[in-house]
Amino acid sequence: MNSELHALRGEHRPKSKLRHLKIVWWVVIFAVIGAAGLAIPVAAATYRMAAEAQAGRRALTDAASAAARSDIKTASADLVFAQAHLAAADRFGKVLAPFEILPYAGADVKSLRSIVASSLETATALARLGALGQNILDILSRAPGFDSGAPTVASGVIAFFKLSPDDRAVALAALAKAPGELKTSLDEIDKALIGFNSLPDASGLDSVVASLRPAIAQLEAVRAKIAVAAELSKLLPALSGYPTPKNYLLLLQNNTELRPTGGFIGTVGTVTVDATVAKNLQVADVYVYDAAAKNTDAAPPAPLVKYLAARQRYLRDANWSPDFPTSAAQAAAIYAQETDGEKFDGVLAVDPTLAVDLLKIVGKVTIGASTFTPENVTDEIEYQVEKGFDAKGLPVSQRKDILIALASEVFARVAALPNDKWQLVVNAFVRSLDEKHMLIASFDPNVAAFAASRNWDGAVRAPANDFLMVVDANLAALKTDSVMSRAIDYSFKPDSGGLTATVNLTYTNHGGFSWKTTRYRTYTRIYVPPGSELVSFAGAMTNDKILDPRHTPGRVDTVDELGLRSFGAFLSVEPGETRTLSFTYRLPASIVAAAGAGNYSLNVQKQPGTIAVPLTLSLDFGKKVASATPPESRANWGDDRYTLSTDLTVDRQFKIGF
């Protein structure tokens, strides 16, 4: 029986094996046919994706070249081509998506698709920007003399102001729509950068990824510029009075009579800006308003009561806070109380430094018998409003009229400048803003945020680390700041209590007694980190030699405000005399701890209106300084002290490492 079964099995084994072999064979045949059928579209998709991606890359390169030569029209067209080719590459790339699960090759497929997708996001964003830019260029091309084939920022500004009022309104309408477009483009670029920056360095596409790095860096730089443009697109229509007119309060601050935000407010103006057109400009002597003022709600600061016998705070004293947004709000509130309650959208302050720079560009200006040059404009204005008006038989109420005449003539000449001179005008305004000879306080959040980002708002900003700001207030010393020199010396050294700092302020009066200058009288405050403890002081006076012939030593007022601590004292300097006012204080534990951890930094903020006040630092940390920004001279390297001499043309920042 068993032998029969074995025989039976032996007869049937060949047929069973043959059947299994046939099944396997057909499986192989179908697999080959299926693979071949799949390989054909996959290969085709890969080829088409590569071809479209290459075409897109060439179009992007052409667009970059066109943009570099300011050919926005050609660049925009190239970007549209790039967008179309890369969109096609992205569609073909989707065929490869299932293969991303494969080992090894799948990662390269995923990277390749990510490169195409990120490139498409980039092209889409830039094409949108190109269309936006071309739209604005088409509007600007209506201005006489504008070359839309090679535009620059300066030529665009010139063209804008040479447009008719109606065309300017059209341009502002386009700018008002720009923030949304720019925000969308920023989002697309951010998405592209995430894709590019997530590419692995080690892969089968490592050479491709490496070749993209310079382009990624350029895209990041473009993104930063677009971010600024987005802020400007919010700012310009708002400042220009579009779509609704804006009312501004103008404060002309005289920095030859220094006050906390840049100078004594001697002249006040108001203006309505409607789609960049200035309307209803009015300028008047501040005393015209103050003389008619009833009691204001604002109490005068204690030093004004003590040294000027002030009974209330007038508009002329509104800028007692060195923080311009605070003083601007105070000025607007007092103006409203002294007049008919007019409301403002912002406050602009400027000192004569801008007039000096503009006269360097347009040349001397003659108004009546007075000639104004860059060298004499401040003194000549001072003479005309203090003495000259009387010699001409003009009433006091008209003594500031010459300012309107001078400003009108200067701006008329600016408007008539050839195109190649306008960049100088832009530079003059930017310099005044950077160096705090012009300050902007806006009650529009977008404008305020932009001004703050550029440090154009004159705000006092309390940092987390060390800080110093010196603020002088001329108290009935005429225009003596014009003949004063001052210097700031800041030092500290370690002791058992941590770090003890000293600020020495040296004043020299180079003037004499005249209608313009006299003994210098200042209430000086230094702003330092909160929690600083006054140890000692020297040089403070009770009053000047006439009002205090006994030369009684003064005292120091300690006040906490603006997130800082201030020490304030009175000082008087006779003509030909040099005096020093000193404050010694212990820095708070947080500053000591930061220095101990190797994270010391110092912000020294300039007082608006001042011009390049010398600053000397001598900071002894009790341990070797390893690095510093800005660096010391090489001769001072390798010790425990950071020593540097500079000036306060602008705010200064210092960072020390150990």
The whole-number pLDDT of residue 99 equals 74
Domain containing 189: what range? 27-238
Comparing 16 with 437, the larger pLDDT belongs to 437
Band of residue 268 on the pLDDT scale cut at 50, 70, 90: very high
Comparing 535 with 180, the larger pLDDT belongs to 535
d(CA 145, CA 142): 9
In a domain, 190, yes or no: yes
d(CA 481, CA 510): 10
Q: Of 552, 592, 586, 591, give the one whose Cα is nearest residue 572.
A: 552
Which residues lie closer than 8 Å to 588 by C-beta, 6 or more apart? 529, 530, 531, 532, 533
Comparing 352 with 123, the larger pLDDT belongs to 352
pLDDT surpassing 90 at residue 531: yes
Band of residue 26 on the pLDDT scale cut at 50, 70, 90: very low
pLDDT surpassing 80 at residue 419: no
For the chain, give the longest Cα–Cα distance.
Answer: 149
Query: What CATH number does residue 518 fall under?
Result: 2.60.40
In a domain, 524, yes or no: yes
Q: Does one domain contain both 307 and 394? A: yes
Q: CA separation (Å) from 633 to 638, 646, 651?
A: 11, 12, 21
The whole-number pLDDT of residue 122 equals 87
Q: Does one domain contain both 494 and 514? A: yes
455-472 pLDDT, tens digit each: 999 999 988 899 999 999
Q: Does one domain contain both 638 and 611? A: yes
Instruction: Assign 509 to helix, strand or coil.
Output: strand
Residues 227-237 have a mean pLDDT of: 78
Of 3-7, 208-212, 580-584, the poorest mean pLDDT is in 3-7
536-578 pLDDT, tens digit each: 999 999 999 999 999 999 999 999 999 999 999 999 999 999 9
The whole-number pLDDT of residue 35 equals 46
Q: Does one domain contain both 525 and 631? A: yes
Residues 613-628 have a mean pLDDT of: 96
Instruction: Report whether 260 contacts 319 (CB < 8 A).
Output: yes
Pairing of strands 614-620, 484-495: parallel
Mean of the per-residue pLDDT values of the chain: 87
In a domain, 16, yes or no: no
Instruction: Assign 264 to helix, strand or coil.
Output: strand
The whole-number pLDDT of residue 598 equals 87
Q: Does one domain contain both 510 and 375? A: no
Instruction: Assign 594 to helix, strand or coil.
Output: helix
Give the ranges where 141-257 is alpha helix by DSSP (H).
153-162, 165-197, 206-239
Examine the fold and report which residue of 453, 474, 499 is the final residue of a domain before the chain moves on.
453
Q: Does one domain contain both 415 and 543? A: no
Q: Does one domain contain both 71 and 206? A: yes
In a domain, 21, yes or no: no
The whole-number pLDDT of residue 360 equals 97
Q: Does one domain contain both 621 and 537? A: yes
Q: Does one domain contain both 260 and 389? A: yes
Structure tokens at 551: 């030369």
In a domain, 514, yes or no: yes
Structure tokens at 482: 């014009």
Instruction: Report whether 118 contacts 195 (CB < 8 A).
Output: yes
Count the domains in the chain.
3
Residues 495-517 have a mean pLDDT of: 96
**Full-model pTM:** 0.80
Q: Does one domain contain both 503 and 543? A: yes
pLDDT surpassing 70 at residue 25: no
pLDDT surpassing 90 at residue 101: no
165-202 pLDDT, tens digit each: 888 888 888 888 888 888 898 898 898 888 888 877 65
Comparing 613 with 145, the larger pLDDT belongs to 613
The whole-number pLDDT of residue 452 equals 94
Structure tokens at 376: 């004499």
Q: Does one domain contain both 228 and 254? A: no
pLDDT surpassing 50 at residue 411: yes
Structure tokens at 243: 């779509």
The whole-number pLDDT of residue 481 equals 98
Residues 489-495 have a mean pLDDT of: 96
In a domain, 584, yes or no: yes
In a domain, 127, yes or no: yes
The whole-number pLDDT of residue 97 equals 82
The whole-number pLDDT of residue 354 equals 95
Residues 513-524 have a mean pLDDT of: 97
The whole-number pLDDT of residue 545 equals 95
The whole-number pLDDT of residue 100 equals 76
The whole-number pLDDT of residue 421 equals 85
In a domain, 220, yes or no: yes
pLDDT surpassing 60 at residue 277: yes
Q: Does one domain contain both 273 and 143? A: no
d(CA 240, CA 172): 8
The whole-number pLDDT of residue 8 equals 38
Residues 524-540 have a mean pLDDT of: 98
* CB neighbour burial string for 367-386, b if at least 16 within 10 angstroms, e if fewer: beebebebebbbebbbbbbe
The whole-number pLDDT of residue 16 equals 55
The whole-number pLDDT of residue 79 equals 86
CA atoms within 13 A on the CB side of 190: 9
Q: Which helix (H) or strand (E) holds 453?
A: helix 445-453
The whole-number pLDDT of residue 503 equals 98
Q: Backbone phi, then psi, for 310, in 5-degree steps?
A: -65, 140
